Amino acid sequence: MSRVTVDGTAVEVAPGATILEAAEAAGHWVPTVCFDQRQAPFGACRVCMVAVAGSPKPLPACTTPCRDGMEIETEEATARRVSRAVVELVLSELPEPPAPHTELARVAARLGVTGSRWTGAVHAREDDLRHPYLALRHELCISCGRCVRACDEVQGAFALTATGRGFDANIAAGLDAGFEDSTCVSCGACADTCPTDAISEISLVAQLERS
């Protein structure tokens, strides 16, 4: 066991536990976007940045293991500035604000991010509604990789792939043939984990458009 403090609260965590787990044990919130407890930590989004005494830069909480005696600050100014900036950057590419119930919207709200300072290109609408249950709206994809990992690590269908680079980074079902013509088993784990509704249930998309 290692003993660490999170915002002054002392907690004991199991060997190998991450800062994120320690923060949770201490009851302190750390913003995350690419993290899902059903999947191995990925460390891609850089939203979960925290300060650690002695470290010159903020560290990602989801992938950094605790060391005995670590002093962690979840709301340290630089770390929080990085988290907010990342969320703003992510939002800047979306053609419309994420729906209020989505994880991205909730993280943004809790971080006090109400918009983006950056203007520029936004994704064009590109919706794939071929599957009877799953809607894939590419313009809402932020390339967090959660759907790909849900498909690999939770279901084991290996139907989703990350594609493209930079601004064009997105996801593809079955090499872009769509869910039905892939190894997809329609389990919906991707829709369940998606923090932006880029993959969601058709029934809910219809609901959204009606309301």
Partner 1 sequence: MANATIPEAPAAEERFDRVAATTCGYCGVGCRLETRAIDGRIVSIGPLDGPANHGHTCLKGRFAHGFSRSPDRLRTPLIREDGELRPASWEEALGRIVAELERVKAAHGPDAIAGLASSRATNEDCYAMQRLIRAAVGTNNIDNCSRVCHSPTSFALRRSFGLSGATGSFDDIDHAEVGVLMGVNPTQGHPVVGARIKQAALRGCKLITIDPRRIELADYGEIHLAPRPGTNAAVALGLCHVVRREGLVDEAFVAERTEGYEAVEELLEGYDPAAVEEIAGIPAADLEAAARLYGEAASGSLLWGLGVTEHMYGSEVVQLLCNLAMMTGKVGKPGSALLPLRGQNNVQGSSDMGALPDTYTAYRSVEDEEVAATFEAAWGAPLSRRKGKTIPQMFDAAVAGDLKAMYIFGEDVAQTDPDTAHVIAAMESLEFLVCQEIFLNETTKYADVVLPASAFLEKEGTFINAERRFQAVEPAIDPPGEARTDFEIIGEVSRRLGHETGWETPWDALDEIARLTPHYAGVSRERLGSQGLQWPVRPDGTDSPTLYDTTFDRPGGRGHFAPLPYKAPGDAPDDEFPLVLVTGRILQHYNAGTMTRRTANAELVDRDVLEVHPVDAARLWIGDGDRVSVRSRVGRIEVEAKVTDRIEPGHVFTTFHFPETRTNLLVGQSADVNTSCPEYKVIAVDVRPISEQPSFVPVLADGD
Query: How far apart, in Å, are the Cα atoms of 107 and each of 46, 57, 104, 162?
Result: 13, 22, 5, 23
Among positions 78, 118, 175, 177, the unique one binding partner 1 when judged by CB under 8 A? 118
- Cβ distance 10 to 78 under 8 Å? no
Among positions 153, 161, 174, 181, the unique one binding partner 1 when judged by CB under 8 A? 153
**To the nearest whole angstrom, how small is the minimum distance from the Cβ of residue 151 to partner 1?**
10
Among positions 116, 143, 182, 196, the unique one binding partner 1 when judged by CB under 8 A? 116
Cβ nearer to partner 1, comparing 50 with 191: 191
What is d(CA 88, CA 197) in angstroms, rounded to the nearest whole number?
A: 18
**To the nearest whole angstrom, how small is the minimum distance from the Cβ of residue 116 to partner 1?**
6
What's the full length of the chain, in residues? 211
Q: Can residue 154 be called a binding residue for partner 1 (CB under 8 A)?
A: yes
- Token readout for 97 is 């604000």
Q: Can residue 113 be called a binding residue for partner 1 (CB under 8 A)?
A: yes
Pairing of strands 134-137, 199-201: antiparallel
Phi, psi for 11 (deg, rounded to 5):
-140, 155
What is d(CA 204, CA 183) in angstroms, rounded to the nearest whole number?
A: 24
Q: Please identify, among the stretches 21-29, 56-64, 153-161, 166-174, the one whose residues bind partner 1 according to the rule CB under 8 A.
A: 153-161
In the complex, the residues that contact partner 1 under the rule CB under 8 A are: 37-38, 91-98, 100-101, 105-106, 108-110, 113-120, 122, 132-133, 153-156, 180, 185-189, 192, 201, 203-204, 207
